[in-house]
């Protein structure tokens, strides 16, 4: 067994700088945190990450039960911020509600806002859903009195890196995540 390393960026933002208000595309709705929606967040997370590079970096993202456990852990962490945790939904052709994206936020030990995961399902990408989730989380961090926030992103996820830069995040440092080769599958 060997290891491979994934290059990741820690990106930060000063929450005092202006950002646009989140305005969803027509037909999409924000749904605020409710513990009864934990499985909906897990569903959105799994469908967002299961075929992406981050499911190699964090294998739990490629497994529905892993996403469910992760959501449970996030929701029960000290510092969990319901106001920075959102789901976006819309209706499919049959009129059923569909989970399109999710974001979770916590206050970390240093007093900064920490984005845990931001995921948008493939069929809803390119519509501004990710930007709106991030802006809504920023509002939640500000409402909690936080002055700074951060996230980590896999460097190969160029679309996400562009999104974060567009919102105002900057690369604070580069980190490397070691992953056992056994759990790494090319996607």
Per residue in 85-98, pLDDT tens?
999 999 999 999 99
* Per-position DSSP letters for 123-181, written without gaps between them: GGTTSSHHHHHHHHHHHHHHHTT-SEEEEEEETT-HHHHHHHHHHT-EEEEEEEEEEEG
Task: Give the length of the chain.
Answer: 187
Share of the chain above pLDDT 70, in %: 96
- Over residues 122-144, the pLDDT tens digits come to 999 999 999 999 999 999 999 99
In this predicted structure, the answer to whether residue 183 has a pLDDT above a threshold of 80 is no
Whether 129 and 75 have beta carbons less than 8 Å apart is answered as: no
Nearest to 4 by CA among 70, 63, 60, 53: 53
């Amino acid at each position: 067994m060997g290891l491979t390393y994934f290059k990741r960026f820690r990106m930060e933002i000063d929450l005092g700088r202006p950002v646009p208000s989140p305005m969803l595309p027509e037909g999409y709705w924000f749904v605020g945190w409710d513990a009864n929606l934990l499985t909906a967040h897990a569903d959105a997370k799994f469908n967002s990450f299961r075929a992406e590079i981050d499911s190699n970096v964090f294998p739990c993202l490629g497994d529905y039960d892993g996403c469910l456990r992760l959501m449970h852990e996030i929701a029960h962490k000290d510092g969990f911020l319901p106001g920075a945790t959102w789901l976006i939904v819309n209706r499919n052709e049959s009129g059923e509600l569909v989970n399109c994206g999710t974001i979770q936020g916590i206050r970390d030990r240093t007093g900064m806002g920490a984005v845990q995961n931001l995921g948008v399902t493939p069929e809803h990408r390119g519509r501004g859903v990710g930007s709106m989730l991030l802006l809504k989380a920023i509002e939640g961090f500000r409402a909690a009195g936080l002055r700074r926030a951060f996230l980590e992103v896999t460097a190969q996820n160029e679309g996400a890196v562009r999104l974060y830069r567009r919102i105002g995040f900057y690369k604070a440092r580069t980190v490397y995540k070691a992953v056992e080769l056994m759990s790494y599958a090319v996607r």
